Amino acid sequence: MARVVRFHELGGPEVLRIEEESRSEPLAADEVRISVKALGLNRADVMFRRGTYIEKATLPSRLGYEASGLIEAVGAEVAEFQPGQAVSVIPPIGLSRYGTYGESIVVPARFVVPKPDSLSFELAASAWMQYLTAYGGLVQAGSLRQGEHVLITAASSSVGLAAIQIALSVGAIPIATTTTQAKKEAVRSLGALHVIATQEEDLSTALSNILGPDGLHRVFDAVGGPQVETIAATMAPGGVIVSHGMLDPAPTPFPLRLALRKSLSMRGYVFTEIVGSPAKLAAAKWFILDGLSSGALRPVIDKTFEFNDIVEAHRYLESNQQIGKVVVTV
C-alpha cells in the first residue's frame, strides 16, 4: 500500500486527506511507476482543489503537478527509463488521474525526464512547472530575444523567478514587479535587473524612469486587470503581452487604441500548449535540462514541509508569503 492525497469535495486546504491505495495496479504500456521523494506545490493545485482551475476535478480526486523520485517499474513500451533511475515529473495532463501527491505515482513516460545529478530531489521537484510555464510564455509564445526589455509581473512567485532566469539566459533585460519593498529587495537579490514595488510606487512613472526613450518589447503577465492599459502605454511598437494568469479579479481590458497605434499583440498562454505538443515539449525539455545542468536555471525553494503536513503546506501556499517554491518531502 502507498499513501496518497485526495479530496472528496471542493474547498480549502482542510479538504485534503491522506489515504492509502494499492501499488499493484498494472501499468499501461507507456506508463512508469515512481517512488516519490519530493513534491512541488503550485497555485494551480490550489485552484484545482477549489474548483476554479481550467481543468475540473473528478471527485474523489488526486492532485499535484510536480514530483521527483526513483523509477519503480516501467510499462512494456518504455525503453528510455529503468528501475532505480532518478527522475522528475513534467506537469501531466489529467490531474484527477495522474496527480503527483503520493508516495508512489503512475504517469506516462512522456511526462518524465532524468534528474540532473547536480539537483537534490527537492530542487528537481521544484523545476518543471515554473520553467515550463516561463519558457513557453517567453521563448515560444513571446519570441523573446537578446537585448529586449521584458516586464515580468508577480515576480516573487516561482514562475516569476524562473522567468527572470530565462530572460537573463537569452540575454534579455528583465524588469520585475512585486508588491512590497521587502519583496522588491528579495527579487532583486535573485537576479532581476530592475524591480518595481507596485503597492508603493507608481507603475507608469517607474517604467518610464527605467526605460527612458525605449519601450517594453515583451510582457509576461500573471496579474491582468486594469494595469494592462498602463503597461501597454509603455510598450514599443510591435510589442507582445503574454498573459498567463489573472491574480487581479477585476476585468482585464484589451487596450485596443494602443494596440492599433503601436501594432501590439496580446494573447493568453497556459503550459498545456507545450505538454500537448510533442515537438514543443521536446524543445522545452532540451532548453530546461540544459539550463538546469549548466546552473543557468536554479529553482529557489522558500519552505519545505513533510508529507504528513500537506494541509499546512497548502495553507502556507495560499498565504502568499513565499518567495519561490513550496516543497513537500515524502
CA atoms of 141 and 144, how far apart (whole Å): 8
State mean pLDDT over 175-185.
92
92-96, 125-129, 239-243: segment of lowest average pLDDT: 92-96
Residue 32 lies in a domain: yes
Percentage above 90 pLDDT, the chain: 88
Computed over every residue of the chain, the mean pLDDT equals 95
Residue 121: which pLDDT band, with cuts at 50, 70 and 90? very high
- Residue 24: what pLDDT? 67
Say yes or no: 151 and 219 in one domain.
yes
Both 109 and 29 in a single domain?
A: yes
Check residue 73 and give its pLDDT: 95
- Rounded to an integer, the average pLDDT of 169-186 is 93
Rounded to 10 degrees, what is the CA torsion of 126, 128, 133, 137? 120
**225 and 185 inside one domain:** yes
Q: What is the pLDDT of residues 107-118, one digit of tens each?
A: 999 999 999 999
Cross-strand bridge partners of residue 113: 88
| CATH (domain of 317) | 3.90.180.10
User: What residue numbers bound the domain in which 218 lies?
Assistant: 132-272
Q: How far apart are CA 16 and CA 3, in angstroms?
A: 13
Q: Is residue 277 assigned to a domain? A: no
Question: Grid cell 526613450 — which residue?
Answer: 213
Q: Which residues of 67-97 are buried (b: 16+ CB within 10 A; e: fewer)?
A: bbbebbbbbeebeebeeebbbbbbbbeebbe
Same domain assignment for residues 41 and 139: no
Residues 86, 154 share a domain:
no
Tell me what the mean pLDDT of segment 6-13 comes to.
98
- 266 and 170 in one domain? yes
pLDDT of residue 190: 86
Residue 325 lies in a domain: yes
Q: What percent of the chain has pLDDT over 70?
A: 100
Of 255, 272, 289, the residue that ends a domain is: 272
pLDDT of residue 162: 96
Phi, psi of 297 (to 5 degrees): -115, 125
b/e map of 222-236 (b: 16 or more CB within 10 Å)?
Answer: bbbbebbbebbbbbb
Residue 286 lies in a domain: no
Q: Indicate the length of the chain as a whole number.
A: 330
The answer to the question of residue 283 being in a domain is no
Closest Cα partner for 211 from 189, 226, 191, 196?
Answer: 196
The answer on 146 and 103 residing in a single domain is: no
Whether pLDDT at 105 is above 80: yes
292 part of a folded domain: no
Same domain, 216 and 317: no
Same domain, 123 and 139: no
Tens of pLDDT, residue by residue over 256-272, are 999 999 999 999 999 99
Helix, strand, coil: what percent of the chain each, to 5? 35, 30, 40
Q: What is the CATH number of the domain that holds 136?
A: 3.40.50.720
* Tens of pLDDT, residues 40-68: 999 999 999 999 998 899 999 999 999 99
What is the model's pLDDT at position 284?
Answer: 96
pLDDT at 26 over 90: no
**Closest to 97 in 3D by CA, of 86, 106, 87, 84:** 106
- 3-class secondary structure, 21: strand
What pLDDT does residue 320 have?
85
Based on the domain organization, do 28 and 70 belong to the same domain? yes
Evaluate whether residue 97 is within a structural domain.
Answer: yes
Same domain for 196 and 249? yes
Could you tell me which residues come within 8 angstroms of residue 26 by beta carbon, excluding any fewer than 6 positions away?
Answer: none
Please give the pLDDT value at position 94.
86
**pTM confidence score:** 0.92
CA torsion through residues 53, 57, 60, 64, sign: negative
Number of compact structural domains in the chain: 2
Same domain, 108 and 144: no
Distance CA 71, CA 107 (A): 11
How far apart CA 206 and CA 6 sit, in angstroms, is 45
